[in-house]
Structures are given as structure tokens and as C-alpha cells.
Structure 1
Amino acid sequence: MSSGYILILAVLILGGVIATLGDRIGTRVGKARLSLFNLRPKKTAVVVTILTGILISASTLGILLVANRQFRDMILNFEVIQRRLRRANTDLDQAKAELGKTAEQKENVEAELNKSQVERGKVQAQLDRVKNSLKDAAALQRATEARRAQVEQQRNVVQAQLLSVSQQALALKSEILELESEQKQLTAQRDEVKAQIAARDQEIEERSKIIQQRDRDIAARDTVITQREERLRALEDQQVLLAREVDKLEQEAQRLRLGTPAILRNQVLASGVVRITNPQASNQAVDALLREANRVAQSALQPGVDGNGQILRITRSEVDQLVRQISDGRDYFVRILAAANYLLGEKTEVTVFADVVRNEVIYRPGDVLATTSLDPSKMTVTEIQDRINKLVAASIFRAKRAGLLSDNVQVSRIQALIQFIDGLRQYDSSIEIRAIAGDVTYTAGPMRLELIAVQNGQTVLQTSR
């Protein structure tokens, strides 16, 4: 328990004792009907009570004056203390004003230090050459922070000790001057660091461009790798399908070895060009093609045997899809093809499927399908004929790739070809042979080929003449 609590407790106890004694004295005076100063007993009791209260106040004040020096000094030297307090308040206001300026300057210094920290962090991560400068800046920052802590400590001391405010204010002024000097040094170092950062940023930008280009190259390679992986997966799937197809073909080949093939896989049993302007006619056109395919299949499997039975097998969904596909009023080339190999005399259903494509123009008259060059003076007739045969084969191959589905390819008559070859033998220099379309060629065919000989950009021979 502190001395203040003891003092308060003593004052309370003493006041209670004196009050009790005063009360008893007043009671006895009232009972004894005593008189003081020729007063009545009742008034004498009141006087005794007043004296008791005065004694309590005097004893309390005496105890405080004797026991507490600060209280005694405050009572006896109250005016002096007030004058000192006013002077201390004036000094405190001046110190607060100085502290406000110091705080503002400190905030400016802290802002500059924060900027220096950010710049130091960027430069330290990217530039090895600037590390020493950043270390110096960090050291200055730590010194500044230490001085700032010292200033804050001094400010707390100023608030706690009013008598030393003036001396601390002077110390703060000197510290502020030092901080301003250090701030100038930091500003100079910051400018130097900014210049180094600008140079390094330019170098980093150039390197970033190189890295971005490399990233684009890597992304392009990744795309190529992804495409190749997808192609590989597709090829693997195709390999599985082809393996199954090979197994099926081997089984069919085994069957073919045991008998005479009458219908081959993908053989066209019926075909035709259709244009449906009336949707109700779609079923009729499809039925006509299927009946023709059924007749051809029966004739192939059992030649010489008249039969009207249905041996084709095709699903209803395939027929409905075929009907819907050709019902838009455009020209279509429809083919009914065998789905497997069948032997002569085999009594079984023939599974078929339909193939539908737009009957579009593939070549127009004069379109070049293939070309070759030869020197008739250095070649025999057989060699010339072989070269022309290869030219015709290449033309047919390219026509197939362009979309020709018919096998009906008409080449010039034999007499015209002989005259064309004889005409070539009259030239003793290199000449260009072209295979061109003789008529408009559709997907359904047929295709008519003409041969022309060109020399120096001029047509000198043609099979159609």
C-alpha cells in the first residue's frame, strides 16, 4: 500500500474518531446542561459540535501539511507555482509548435525514405552493380529511423518533464538540421540511383523483348507439338480401324479364295443424278435406285436366274436420311455401293450403303488436268505412247482427287491418237503435251479428255481436229 493511501486512511480514521468524540462530548454537555460563555445548554452543544468540525478540518489540514511536502508547497507557494506553470505552458506551446514542424519535416523525410526503399527493392532485385549504393541508402535509412526514434523519445520526455522543454526543443532543432542535411544526401543518392535504374530498365526492356520472342517461339513449337500429338492420336485411331478392316479383308479374302467373286466391296450397283423439286418424289427416286441395285446384285450373284426377290439389305434410317438429303431441289449424284465382297452363287442378302454428293462442275472445256514435255526426235513411237498413257493416267488421278466419281473417262478415238502421235514425230525439238477437259465435267461424269501440243505458247496439234 502506498503512502498516499495510508495518509487518506489515517485522515478518515482521525476524522471518524474526532467526530465520535465530538458527538459524545456534545451529548454529555447536553445531558449535563453545561453552559459556555453564558450560553444556553442547547446552544452550548451546537458550539461544541462546531468546534469539533473545526478540529476535524484543522487536524486533516495539519496532517496533510505535515505528511505531504508537495501539498504543503502547493498551499504555501500557490502563486509561485501558478507563475511557473504559466511559464511552463508557454514553453510547452513553443515546444509543441517546434514538434509540429519537426513532425512535418519527419513525414517528408519518411516519404523520401519510403521512395528510396521502393527504388532500392527494385534495383536490388535486378542490378548487382547498385547493391553498394542501396546498402549505403539502407544504412542512412536506419540512422534516420534511429534518429526518428530518438526524436520521439525526446518528445515523450518533453511531455513528461515540462521543466526541460526548452532544452529538448533546442536539441530537436539541431537534430532537424542534421536530418535536413541527411535528406539532401539521400536525395542526391536517389537521383543517382534513378539514373542507374533508367539505364537498367532499358536493358531489361530489351531483354524482355528477346524473352517474349523466345516465348512466342516456344508457344509456336508447343502448338506444333500439340498438333502432331493430335495427329498421332488420329493416326493411332486410324491404325486400329485399319487393323480391323485388314482382319475383315483377310476373312473376305479367305472366302474369295474358296469361290468366284461376283460383287466386290465398294462396287457401284446403281447410280444416277437426281434433282427433286417435289418432296413426294424423293421416295420414288430412291426406290428406283434400290430396285436397280437389287437387279444388278441378283444378276451378279445368280446369272441367268430370273428372280424378283429382295436381296438388298439397308436400314430404314439410312433410306430416310437419303430421302431428306436429296429433297432440297439441288442436283445430287447418288450411288448404291456394296458393303462387302460376295461370291458367285452365294445365296445371301447383299448389304449396301448410299453415297450422296452434290453434282457440281469440276472442269470446264479447256481446263488443264496434266502436262508433260517430250522431245519426239529422241523418242520412239512406243516411248511416246507410254508418255501419253502416263499423262492420261495422271489426268484421271487428278480428276478423281478433284471429285470425279464416275469411271467413265473418254479419251480421243484411236485414229485421232495415231494422227496426233504422227504429228508429234514431225517436230525435232521439245514440245509440251497437255491433257485438257473436252466438255463440261460434273461429279457424276462422264469426262472427255483431249490432248493438245503446245510449242512457244502456240497450240500446234490437237486430238479433236
Structure 2
Amino acid sequence: MLTFGIRIILLLLLIGGAIALIGDYVGRVIGRKRLTLLNLRPRYTAFAITILTGILIVFATLGIMLIVSQDARTALFGLEELRNTLTEKSQELRETKKELDQRVAEREKIDGELQSARANLQKAKLDITALEKTKDKLAREVEVSRKGKVLFKVGEVLLTSVIQAGPEKKKLEEGLKQILSAADAYVRSFGVEEEKHLIFMPPEEFDRAVSALQIRRGENIIMVAATRNALFGEEVPVRFEISENKLIYESGREIAETIIQPGLSVPEIEQEIKRLLSNTHLSARKDGVLPDPSGSMGSVPYSEILTLAKKIKGYKKGIRLKTIAKTDIYTIGPLEVDFKIYYQ
């Protein structure tokens, strides 16, 4: 079987040969008969016929190629368009390659950053592990040091509260149990982590307190005090100390006083006011006002002290400054005072 291309070539050879043969025959006939074409001499007429024959061979060849071959048609009439398309595709290919190179570079950069992030993450995990080990070690060391520390000394007051005395035993028992629970919570606030109760009171001590309150009247002060030194984490044995919540100062009563000379600076006047407050606390404690477990009986904001110092600074002569009870003050406190200024 002959291929399509070989058959086309044979066809072109046959047609070209036939046309050449016909042209040669026509040329010889014209030469013998001395014919002319367009008033040309016979010799030139033969030349013209030969040229026309060659032209016909070319046209025939092109015609057949264009009829039977799409590639031939594209080569003759679409070559320029194909060349432009090829140029555009080449440009697109270069741009695509450039973009691909950029993407590859970005990918390599991201891979590098990812690798660095993974390394940092691994390092962070190791650091966290080391910190956790250090934390556990420190916690154990703190626990060991705490276990050897005296948390409460004998006689130290853990909690101060009030209760309404009277004959109702059940109400008294509930109130005292709430006070013991508050004391237990206070001990745990130091960081003691135990499931058991941290406060222990002998039943006879508890019953004694209930009996004492049954024969009393009015508001009474209950202080929870340690009966021996207690180490950190140990159960704290306690007892109740009961006293009447008496009225110590009526509202408006003078507690302490001082004299402030003229010409002092504001900071110096502040020191005089603080000294007066310290004497006020000493007098109140001497008269029976109880401090809380932290040792405080009340405080005055610094802004109030500063305002008062500036006010006194404006006076042209010495003054007598007194502290007076702001409200009725009982044994349980707190010690709340106002200031009163007198000219000398």
C-alpha cells in the first residue's frame, strides 16, 4: 500500500510530465508551421509557450497541493499568522517560566521558613519541658521548705469574728462551726493543699464555748487562737477566746491630738498627721479596740492625708489637730476616724 504522501508525489510527477509533454508538442507544432502569438516572431512564440507551460506546471502543482493538503494551505496562507501565534506563545511561555521560577523561589523560601519554624517549635518544646522540670523541682523545694516552717505560733489569732450570744444552743453551734470553717479557709490561703480539715478543736473546748455563750447576751467577739506552734501542712489545734463586744468610743469622741506649728512644709505636715494616726491606734488598742489578725485596726487613705496637709499648710498660725470617732466604735473595730482642726 502506497502512503498518501507518495501517491501525491506520483500524481504531481504525472501531471507535471503531461503538461511538459503537451507544452513541448505545442511548441514544435508552432515552430514547424511558423505560427505567431500576439504578433511575436515564431522563435519568441515558442519561448512564450515554454514559459506558459512551466507556469501551468507550477499552478497545477500548487492547486493539487492546496486541494489535498491542509498543511500546504496553512504553509502558504497561514504562515504569518502561525508565526505571530508562535511568537505570542513563546512570550507566554517565557512569562509562564518566569512566574514558575518565582513560584519555585517562593516555595523554597516558604520551605526554608517552615523548616526554621519547625526547628523553633522543637526548641520551644524542649524549653517548655525544661521549664516544667524546673517548676516541679522548685515546687518540691518549696514544699520541703514549707514543711519545716512554723505557720502559726502558740497563742496567735487566726481569725476574729462576732456572734450573737443567747440560750439557743443549735444556733450557737452553727455559728461557731461557720467560724471554724472560715479559719480553715484562712489556713488554706497560705497554699496548704490537704483534703483533711486543717483546724482541730477538741469537742470539750467546743462545748465549753457553746455553754459560755448561752449564759451571755448581746454581741460577743470570738477569736480563734492556736494552742501550739503549727508547721506548714500540719493540722492546727485551736481554742476559742470569747469577749464582749463593748462600745469603746461613741461617734464624735476625741481619741488623740497633736499640735502642728506654722511654717512646716507639706511633707512635714504629712509626717505629723501620720504620727497622730499612730498615737490614735495606740490609744484605741489601750482602750480595748482589737486589731485584725494582720495587726491593722483601720487606715486612712493617703489622698485624705495629702488634702488635709495642704489645707493646714494654708493656715498662718499653729493649729491643734484631733482625731475623733467617725461612728460608734466597738471592741471588734474597725477604727474609723475623722480629723478636727482647732486654732491655738
TM-score by length of 1: 0.39
Partner of 1:440: 328
Runs of 4+ in 1 over 4 A off after TM superposition: 256-261
Match 1:351 to one of 229, 233, 237 = 237
Match 2:288 to one of 394, 399, 403 = 403
Alpha-carbon distance in structure 2 between the residues aligned to 1:396 and 1:387: 14
Distance change >3 Å, CA 453–CA 267, structure 1 → 2: same
SS in 2 for 1:365: coil
Deviations 1:197-247 (A, max 9, x none): xxxxxxxxxxxxxxxxxxxxxxxxxxxxxxxxxxxxxxxxxxxxxxxxxxx
Match 1:298 to one of 169, 183, 188 = 188
Q: Is the 8 A contact 1:375 1:428 kept in 2?
A: no
Distance change >3 Å, CA 301–CA 403, structure 1 → 2: same
Match 2:152 to one of 257, 263, 267 = 263
Q: Is the 8 A contact 1:263 1:341 kept in 2?
A: yes
Aligned residue identity for 2:157: V
Alpha-carbon distance in structure 2 between the residues aligned to 1:258 and 1:275: 38
Match 2:312 to one of 419, 424, 432 = 424
Task: Summarize the alignment of residues 32-181 of structure 1 with structure 2, pairs less than 5 Å apart.
Answer: none
Partner of 1:105: none
User: 1:337 aligned to 2:234?
Assistant: no
Distance change >3 Å, CA 348–CA 329, structure 1 → 2: same
Deviations 1:148-171 (A, max 9, x none): xxxxxxxxxxxxxxxxxxxxxxxx
Q: 1:352 Cα shift? A: 1.5
Q: Is the 8 A contact 1:412 1:450 kept in 2?
A: no
Alpha-carbon distance in structure 1 between the residues aligned to 2:152 and 2:239: 14
Alpha-carbon distance in structure 2 between the residues aligned to 1:394 and 1:339: 31
Structure 2 residue ranges without an equivalent (≥5): 1-144
Partner of 1:374: 260
Match 1:364 to one of 250, 256, 263 = 250
User: 1:311 aligned to 2:198?
Assistant: yes
Distance change >3 Å, CA 397–CA 354, structure 1 → 2: same
User: 1:454 aligned to 2:338?
Assistant: no
Aligned residue pairs: how many?
A: 195
Alpha-carbon distance in structure 1 between the residues aligned to 2:253 and 2:196: 46
Q: Is the 8 A contact 1:411 1:450 kept in 2?
A: no
Task: Summarize the alignment of residues 187-202 of structure 1 with structure 2, pairs less than 5 Å apart.
Answer: none
SS in 2 for 1:323: helix
SS in 2 for 1:318: helix
TM-score by length of 2: 0.52
SS in 1 for 2:169: coil
More helix by share: 1
Q: Is the 8 A contact 1:263 1:297 kept in 2?
A: no
Aligned residue identity for 2:213: I
Distance change >3 Å, CA 373–CA 389, structure 1 → 2: same
User: 1:415 aligned to 2:312?
Assistant: no
Q: Is the 8 A contact 1:409 1:449 kept in 2?
A: no
Distance change >3 Å, CA 422–CA 347, structure 1 → 2: closer
Q: Is the 8 A contact 1:404 1:443 kept in 2?
A: yes
User: 1:320 aligned to 2:210?
Assistant: no
Q: Is the 8 A contact 1:360 1:442 kept in 2?
A: yes
Aligned residue identity for 1:276: A
Aligned residue identity for 1:262: L
Q: 1:397 Cα shift? A: 0.9
SS in 1 for 2:223: strand
Match 1:272 to one of 153, 161, 164 = 161
Q: 1:444 Cα shift? A: 0.9
Alpha-carbon distance in structure 2 between the residues aligned to 1:338 and 1:368: 35
SS in 2 for 1:309: coil
Alpha-carbon distance in structure 1 between the residues aligned to 2:212 and 2:343: 48
Alpha-carbon distance in structure 1 between the residues aligned to 2:275 and 2:245: 28
SS in 2 for 1:300: coil
SS in 2 for 1:410: coil
Q: Is the 8 A contact 1:363 1:437 kept in 2?
A: yes
Q: 1:410 Cα shift? A: 3.4
Aligned residue identity for 2:190: A
Alpha-carbon distance in structure 2 between the residues aligned to 1:410 and 1:392: 10
RMSD: 2.4
Q: 1:260 Cα shift? A: 4.6
Alpha-carbon distance in structure 1 between the residues aligned to 2:188 and 2:147: 20
Deviations 1:401-435 (A, max 9, x none): 11111335334433322221111111222210101
Partner of 2:177: 287
SS in 1 for 2:257: strand
Q: Is the 8 A contact 1:271 1:334 kept in 2?
A: yes
SS in 2 for 1:376: coil
SS in 2 for 1:293: helix
Alpha-carbon distance in structure 2 between the residues aligned to 1:347 and 1:425: 53
Aligned residue identity for 2:276: L
Alpha-carbon distance in structure 1 between the residues aligned to 2:256 and 2:268: 18
Structure 1 residue ranges without an equivalent (≥5): 1-255, 457-465
**Which structure ranks higher in relative contact order (CA pairs < 8 Å, sequence separation ≥ 6)?**
2
